[in-house]
Structure 1
Amino acid sequence: MQSAIKINLSHLVLQAAQKHADLPALTYKSETVSYAELWRRVCGFASALRELGVQRSDRVAVLLEKRMETVVSIFGTTAAGGVTVPVNPLLRPPQVAYILADCNVRVLVTSHDRLLQLQEHIADHPALEHIVLVDQVSGDIQGLDIRKARLHGWAPSFSQEKETAPSIVAVDYDMAAILYTSGSTGKPKGVVLSHRNMIVGAESVSHYLKNGPEDTILSVLPLSFDAGLSQLTTAFNSGAHVLLMNYLLPGDVIRLCEKHKVTGITGVPPFWIQVAALDWPAETAARLRYFANTGGRMPKATLDRLRSLFPQALPYLMYGLTEAFRSTYLDPSEIDRRPDSIGKAIPNAEILVVRPDGSRCNPGEHGELVHRGPLVSMGYWNDPARTAERFRPVPGSEASWRAPELAVFSGDTVVADEEGFLFFVGRRDEMIKTSGYRVSPTEIEEVAYATGLTKDAVALGVEDGALGQRIVLVASPIASSLDVSALLTAFRRTLPQYMVPSQVVEMSAIPTNPNGKFDRVLLREQLGS
């Protein structure tokens, strides 16, 4: 085998294969593969990509639910020198097509049914050359009309196993992945992560979670999320076993935890609220070593219930930015004193709280959270304006002899106490955080306008104990009254369920501020949020 120097993201799998060859790496349904076998599959996929002509930094999108082929495609892409673009399978075809076009995806890995839904939206995609269908065999693909791209089945080329990955020229600062998250303009923005970002993140998180080969981690979050992808990287860094789950019913969590002796779970608040309502078998609950929360504040009642359900488990409350992969965690020993805190910086990161002029805030003073260190991502794909706005020199680090070090300015307002523990206050921008997702109000509003039913529309996030925030749409009708039923039907047809407004409030005229913009502050006050 090759050296286990971790330069490429796939080297997390290589290192585990060298140290823990026969230990289980992944389980999906009834299939389990060892680390040695997973590495051979990654190498085989990487070789097949190279045979298609994939070059360094070419983008390869993966549009799949969680399954073996999804993981092999993600890590096999980086092993070939390409850039993986995991796409949330809940997105609608127009949203997927935008992502594929935005970063000039050259290869798409998906399934036959997903491609059937997508094909009319990508027929004229300028860069897409190859489509790999994980549930098809090459030479036996029918019923599809893709005018420019060449279709390939998973077998035989992409299902082959090889002992080594293709030889590539690489450094750990090369691009490894692009993760798309909603942007303030209504279009998803691609956060570009280097190999170094993701490797350091895996080392840091697995260190404080104390992951090891004895752990079995339940993967419930989408792999298109930084926290979901982190489940794989932290596990592979430590030789842990990952159980892939496409979350549907809360009861399935107990069943899988019982069957596979799960020791660690990371979820978002809505997931934990559902899990906390279940009756857990004592032996299964006692086996859980830790549970971790991200993507929003966990309600205190839910945290208390989980701690009583899992008496042996350490609770980890975490905060992260896609732009920096992971940022803070609260040490479990502090949970009783500071249950509302997001903790302190993870290892190999520094978190600053700064005023608008860049000076440091005093304890108790609200300021913007700024993250510096090797986890700070490379910026937003093909968007220098937004990159320059969010990624700026570290405050107070000016020195004439050195190149500036960039930090990520989160846009989140926090406050630190006298001991340096951080507390989340709110977002400076208008992004809505619901069910662990970041949703752009503009994206919601554009759909409302596209229906032809609304004259004006404003989407807001209203505090919700279960979801973090629920989406409320304030709209004025074009006609005499608003057809709310037709409007919601259009949302359900166009957007994933988590982006569909939970409530539509009709106003004959939406108030504006002195600048002529919709007065979101006043609307929130009127809605009681």
Structure 2
Amino acid sequence: MPQLTRHYAHWPCGVPHTLEVPDRNLAAHLAINAGRYPDKAAFEYYGRQTSYHALHAAANAMAGYLQQHVGVRSGDRVLLMMQSCPQFAIAYHAILYSDAVVVALNPMSTVEEIAYYVGDSGGRVLVTMQDLFPKAQSLLDDGSLDGCIVGAYAEFAGAAGDTPYMEVPAFVHEPYRQPAHAHVHGFRSALAAGIASRPSLAGGADLAVIAYTSGTTGKPKGAMLSHRAFTYAVTQRALWQRDLPEHTELLALPISHLAGMNIMNQALSVGRTIVLLSRWDADAAVELIERHRINYWCAVTPMVIDLLSCPGLAHRDLSSLKRVIGGATAMPEAVAAEVERCLGLPLIESYGLTESCGGTHMNPLQAPRRQCGGIPYINVDARVIDPDDGMELGPGQAGEIVMHAPTLFDGYWNKPDATREAFIELDGKRFLRSGDIGYHDDDGYFYVTDRLKRMINASGLKVWPAEIESWLFGHPAVQEACVISAFDPHRGETVKAFVVLRPSARGNLQPEQLIEWARSRMAAYKVPRLVEFVDSLPKTSTGKLLWRVLQDEQHERDRVARAPF
């Protein structure tokens, strides 16, 4: 079947249907804008600004130090682990200037997880911060790592009294204390050495980043992403969003995750100012949007819910916001409606994967739809197939979403079998299998309903948890919800919902009342038979629900309950 083009009727005005990008190092964007806007703030970080010139000079000096003092060579993998801060951007670009490969690690990683990433990637150098260094020290001691550069957030943050209007995480103001280890280099000392990096030769098809997937099945896999994929991703997104250098952006998503990384790359490629939070804080976000007249904010559902729940929000001036962009999971209808009511803006949802270097779909700004991943981006061929036989499905038919795009990854690091399984060939082209269930409508808009392996089979009927979660968000007492399967002796599986109630509703609503409410709004087989109220839900650092944690715990409960005495 030929590529879908019916969505062209809703295409953003002035955005091309096809695009070519320069064959260059991704980090060249920073160098270019350091020349264009030398004195402009690239980052505003807890009361201190870092200019484009200073950011580029620091990245160049860090690259020279990595090359001359730590032995980093072209193609080496360098691990980067820290909370979101200007130092992340400095080290990130320094690694790319060195023609090396960024391996960004979640700062919440455990000692065991860090050891796995080091061993799997073959990285021998880590750039981190002093609050996280203790988790990596054993890898220096046993020779797994050759060297470690350690910094302190305070080195690029304002003073303690610079932001009296917001609470600053304690670690941000901790002064640097040099770890007593022979193979540790100070971040600030490395910059002060003033060593210029050698000219970069990497670009285009060369590897820029190894981004580890969440590892919901088996060990995490490293998706190999090229300079060209990133350059294409930031260029098409900037065109789609009509980005201008004068726009400012609140970056509260972790930069270590691909979503936050792409926001950073896009803003720096355009020449925008990024107002940065190391940790999500809804009250701080409101203050920053109002004080800095912020224009863009990209968020996940829990962040949006938190901000909308801030006391006194109706009396704050957030009129500078031009765009609120959602991703990761479909935004519940009730939450999207509340965004529009409170902020006067439609929520612009997008869709993509780590393996596609971020977004492959986005809603057109002039015609967004709710709970919708949007239409395929520039040069993206997206389709829906039957996950069992690979046959292509038509409008309204749910199946697995697959995509062919210029931003697709080159495969999983050292995992050829997993790489082969990730693709399917259609019409002579290689399509990425997303593992997401969804459909497209007659206009070419794509809707993601759930993960392929998350489906609940209740008496032979398919139930998609994300659909039930979306319904539950419509209850005024529900703040968050996560739906999983539970054992049922008659149905095989049944629907169970873990629910976080809004503070005002706690103690005033019983599980049976919520079940009865759901019964009047959805098909009987979809209604949760079990509802458990909890104080919080497990999430990743980017706000995605860790539904598998709850599912595994439920499987264990069911196993114990069914075990013979």
1:379–1:391 CA contact under 8 A, matched in 2: no
Deviates more, 1:16-25 or 1:212-221: 16-25
Distance verdict in 2 for CA 1:5–1:321, change over 3 Å: closer
**Amino acid in structure 1 at the alignment position of 2:54:** E
Provide the secondary structure at the position in 2 that maps to 1:284.
coil
Any idea what the Cα deviations from partners look like across 1:36-75, whole Å, max 9, x if unmatched? 2211111111111111221111111111111111110011
**Amino acid in structure 2 at the alignment position of 1:181:** T
Q: 2:359 aligns with which of 322, 326, 332?
A: 326
Q: 1:383 aligns with which of 410, 415, 418?
A: 415
Displacement of 1:314: 4.8
Q: Which residue number corresponds to residue 341 of structure 1?
A: 372
1:268–1:293 CA contact under 8 A, matched in 2: yes
Q: Which residue number corresponds to residue 255 of structure 1?
A: 287
1:5–1:11 CA contact under 8 A, matched in 2: no
Provide the secondary structure at the position in 2 that maps to 1:414.
strand
Q: Which residue number corresponds to residue 118 of structure 2?
A: 100
Question: 1:272-351 to 2 correspondence within 5 Å?
Answer: 272-278=304-310, 279-280=312-313, 284-311=317-344, 313-324=345-356, 325-335=358-368, 338-351=369-382
- What TM-score do you get using the length of structure 2 for normalisation? 0.72
Write the distance in 2 (CA, Å) between the matches of 1:382 and 1:56: 18
1:410 matches 2:434 = yes
Q: Which residue number corresponds to residue 117 of structure 1?
A: 135
Write the distance in 1 (CA, Å) between the matches of 2:147 and 2:484: 38
1:315–1:332 CA contact under 8 A, matched in 2: no
1:193–1:377 CA contact under 8 A, matched in 2: yes
Write the distance in 2 (CA, Å) between the matches of 1:367 and 1:430: 13
1:208 matches 2:221 = no
Which runs of no fewer than 5 residues in structure 2 stay unpaired?
Answer: 1-20, 156-175, 457-464, 474-478, 488-536
Q: Which residue number corresponds to residue 88 of structure 1?
A: 106
Provide the secondary structure at the position in 1 that maps to 2:395.
coil
Q: Which residue number corresponds to residue 352 of structure 1?
A: 383
1:219 matches 2:251 = yes
Q: Which residue number corresponds to residue 169 of structure 1?
A: 201
Write the distance in 2 (CA, Å) between the matches of 1:424 and 1:367: 10
Provide the secondary structure at the position in 2 that maps to 1:339.
coil
Distance verdict in 2 for CA 1:152–1:21, change over 3 Å: same
**Amino acid in structure 1 at the alignment position of 2:443:** E
Q: 1:265 aligns with which of 287, 291, 297?
A: 297
2:293–2:318 CA contact under 8 A, matched in 1: no
Deviates more, 1:19-28 or 1:77-86: 19-28
Q: Which residue number corresponds to residue 50 of structure 1?
A: 67
Question: 1:366-377 to 2 correspondence within 5 Å?
Answer: 366-377=398-409
Displacement of 1:165: 4.5
Write the distance in 1 (CA, Å) between the matches of 2:23 and 2:29: 7
Distance verdict in 2 for CA 1:116–1:287, change over 3 Å: same
1:469 matches 2:520 = no
Write the distance in 1 (CA, Å) between the matches of 2:314 and 2:41: 25
Q: Which residue number corresponds to residue 39 of structure 1?
A: 56
1:133–1:153 CA contact under 8 A, matched in 2: yes
Q: 2:558 aligns with which of 487, 507, 520?
A: 507
Write the distance in 2 (CA, Å) between the matches of 1:38 and 1:473: 51
**Amino acid in structure 2 at the alignment position of 1:176:** A
Displacement of 1:328: 0.7
Write the distance in 2 (CA, Å) between the matches of 1:467 and 1:84: 34
2:229–2:408 CA contact under 8 A, matched in 1: yes
Displacement of 1:103: 0.4
Q: 1:150 aligns with which of 167, 183, 208?
A: 183
Any idea what the Cα deviations from partners look like across 1:127-166, whole Å, max 9, x if unmatched? x2110011399x984445xxxx82111132235557x742
Matched residues, percent identical?
A: 25
Displacement of 1:93: 2.0
2:65–2:197 CA contact under 8 A, matched in 1: no
Write the distance in 1 (CA, Å) between the matches of 2:559 and 2:486: 14
Provide the secondary structure at the position in 2 that maps to 1:375.
coil
Q: Which residue number corresponds to residue 449 of structure 1?
A: none
Displacement of 1:292: 0.3
Provide the secondary structure at the position in 2 that maps to 1:320.
strand
Provide the secondary structure at the position in 2 that maps to 1:334.
coil
Write the distance in 1 (CA, Å) between the matches of 2:247 and 2:96: 25
Displacement of 1:396: 0.9
1:88–1:223 CA contact under 8 A, matched in 2: no
Write the distance in 2 (CA, Å) between the matches of 1:179 and 1:470: 28
Number of residue pairs matched? 446
Displacement of 1:350: 2.2
1:361 matches 2:393 = yes
Displacement of 1:198: 0.7
**Amino acid in structure 1 at the alignment position of 2:376:** A
Q: 1:429 aligns with which of 450, 453, 457?
A: 453
Q: 2:45 aligns with which of 16, 23, 28?
A: 28
Provide the secondary structure at the position in 1 that maps to 2:317.
helix
- What TM-score do you get using the length of structure 1 for normalisation? 0.77
Q: Which residue number corresponds to residue 446 of structure 1?
A: none
Write the distance in 2 (CA, Å) between the matches of 1:216 and 1:422: 29
**Amino acid in structure 2 at the alignment position of 1:120:** S
1:396 matches 2:420 = no
RMSD: 3.2
Write the distance in 2 (CA, Å) between the matches of 1:165 and 1:70: 18
Provide the secondary structure at the position in 2 that maps to 1:332.
coil
Write the distance in 2 (CA, Å) between the matches of 1:359 and 1:502: 33
Any idea what the Cα deviations from partners look like across 1:426-478, whole Å, max 9, x if unmatched? 2213499xxxxxxxxxxxxxxxxxxxxxxxxxxx999474556367899xxxx
Distance verdict in 2 for CA 1:508–1:355, change over 3 Å: closer
Q: Which residue number corresponds to residue 445 of structure 1?
A: none
Q: Which residue number corresponds to residue 152 of structure 2?
A: 135
Displacement of 1:422: 1.1
